[in-house]
Amino acid sequence: MATQPQLRWPWAGATDRVRRRLAGALGGTSRARTIVLLGAVLALSSADLATIGAVAAELKRSLRITNTDVGLLAAVASLVGALATIPIGMLTDRVNRTRLLAGSIALWSVAMIAAGASTSFSMLLLSRLALGAVVGTAGPTLASLTGDFFAPAERARVYGWILSGELIGSGVGLVGSGFAAAALSWRFAFWLLALPGIALAWLTWRRLPEPQRGRYAGEQEELAPEAQRAVRARHVEPDPDLVLREDPVRMPPGRALRYVLRIRTNVVLIAASVLGYFFFSGLRIFSVVFVRDHFGLSQAQATIVLGLTGLGALVGVLAGGRIADRLVAHGHVTGRLLVAAGGFLMAAALLLPGILSPTLIVSLPIFMLAPRRSRRRTRRSTQPGSTSCTRGCGVAPSRCGRC
């Protein structure tokens, strides 16, 4: 009896090719699955914030709220996440991290369903409180897992792949939610995000193993030869007063916080992160509202326009790393900080004429040129287990103190 041919979807071949290429680029199927799952967690958090901006006009009209209320919806989740980061970070050191992450994603999905079912601003605001769970859990948990999944020598490259999930999530949240709001309702924008959240919670629970803690303890990240030469030329030496000589897990919270703030590199990074999130969060939330009102576009048109600006963000992320590495290779120890600072300044300088321009033809290229590379360069310098400070001197922040 002849065997019946197996039916395959038309796109199955293309999907298989993409999966094989992705696995090859990331070092194997198991590694690719881990990187994709960790990146998807950041994508969810970023997509949520982009969704608020994409449906802001519909929220204002349906719930009769103001721009201040829309900003509050985003601020509440971020504030809860910020307050929860320290205790969750301490919890991350003591419990199964993948289970903690899966649980927070499941809670996030339930909160998204509740957000879509909200009948008042107060109900929607309460649902945003629970959404802060994934915001507060993602940072310390992802950093800890990445440090134990991947060796120090490859951690920077791997963490770059994981952080790309944030950019992808912003684009998907903006475009997908914008079209869902235009075609159906703002409620479906939240509900559509809950579906991948539920799937990601299940995959994290079942397919992401808990790695051995301290698996790569004692291994040091090898610096590029050009960076080592630049460090020696600047005569950068560790600060003996800031060398950590005890297990940070056993440090009381108060002393651990004081130690972190004693290191100038950490203070600079905290300040830069606060200002960076203030700037970019405002763009994500109110960009759709501004483009619609300023240029007289529909919801779908505004979503497409802002999706095009994401190309500029992608180019900025890719170019920023190359520029910074080139500066370090030519002996500029502060190359990474210069690129980050320059990215922020150029973004602000290009944004102002784009906002003031009365025509979209002029504004769109300006918005695309506004670099988005600064955040990635700053965050890459502090990847989990990084042994170099933000000046690229090659000394760990806990061992330098002079940068």
- The C-alpha atoms of residue 178 and residue 226 are separated, in whole angstroms, by 46
Q: Are residues 191 and 257 in the same domain?
A: no
| CATH number of the domain to which 45 belongs | 1.20.1250.20
Q: Where a domain ends, among 145, 174, 207?
A: 207
**Given this model, what pLDDT does residue 339 score?**
80
195 shares a domain with 338 = no
Asked if the structure places residue 214 within a domain, the reply is no
Under DSSP, the state recorded for 222 is P
Domain boundary among the residues 207, 236, 253 is at: 207
Give which of 185, 243, 151 is closest to 59, Cα–Cα: 185
Q: Are 232 and 173 part of one and the same domain?
A: no
The burial of 352, by beta-carbon neighbours within 10 Å (0-12 exposed, 13-18 middle, 19 or more buried), is given as exposed
Of the candidates 207, 235, 250, which is a domain's last residue? 207
Residues 75 and 159 in one domain: yes
Per-residue pLDDT of the chain in tens (403 residues, 90 and over written 9): 455 555 455 555 556 666 666 666 566 778 888 888 998 988 887 888 778 888 888 888 888 888 888 888 888 888 888 888 888 888 888 889 999 999 989 988 998 999 999 988 989 988 888 777 667 788 888 888 988 888 776 776 777 788 778 778 877 777 788 788 878 888 998 998 899 999 999 999 999 989 888 777 655 555 555 666 666 777 777 777 777 777 776 778 788 888 888 888 888 888 887 887 777 777 777 777 777 777 777 767 777 777 677 666 667 766 776 677 677 777 777 777 788 788 778 877 777 787 777 777 777 776 666 645 444 444 444 444 444 444 444 444 444 444 4
Statement to judge: residues 92 and 44 lie in one domain = yes
Domain extent for 138: 29-207
For residues 200 and 87, membership in a common domain is answered with: yes
| 346 is a domain residue | yes
Indicate the number of domains in the chain: 2
Task: Please tell me whether residues 192 and 252 are part of one structural domain.
Answer: no
pTM over 0.95? The answer is no
Same domain, 119 and 202: yes
Report which of 102, 187, 193 is spatially closest to residue 142, judged by C-alpha positions: 102
Rounded to the nearest 10 degrees, the angle between the axes of helix 264-295 and helix 29-54 is 50
Q: Is residue 391 part of a domain?
A: no
Let me know whether 202 and 333 are in one domain.
no
pLDDT at 317: 67
Q: And the tokens for 351? A: 């944004």
Shared domain for 191 and 231, answered yes or no, is no
Give the span between the Cα atoms of 252 and 213, in whole angstroms. Answer: 20
In a domain, 123, yes or no: yes
pLDDT of residue 390: 40
Q: Is residue 23 part of a domain?
A: no
Residues 204/141, Cβ–Cβ less than 8 Å:
no
367 in Cβ contact with 304 (< 8 Å) = no
Residue 171 in domain: yes
Residue 283 counted as domain residue: yes
Angle at 278 between CA 286 and CA 313, to 5 degrees: 70
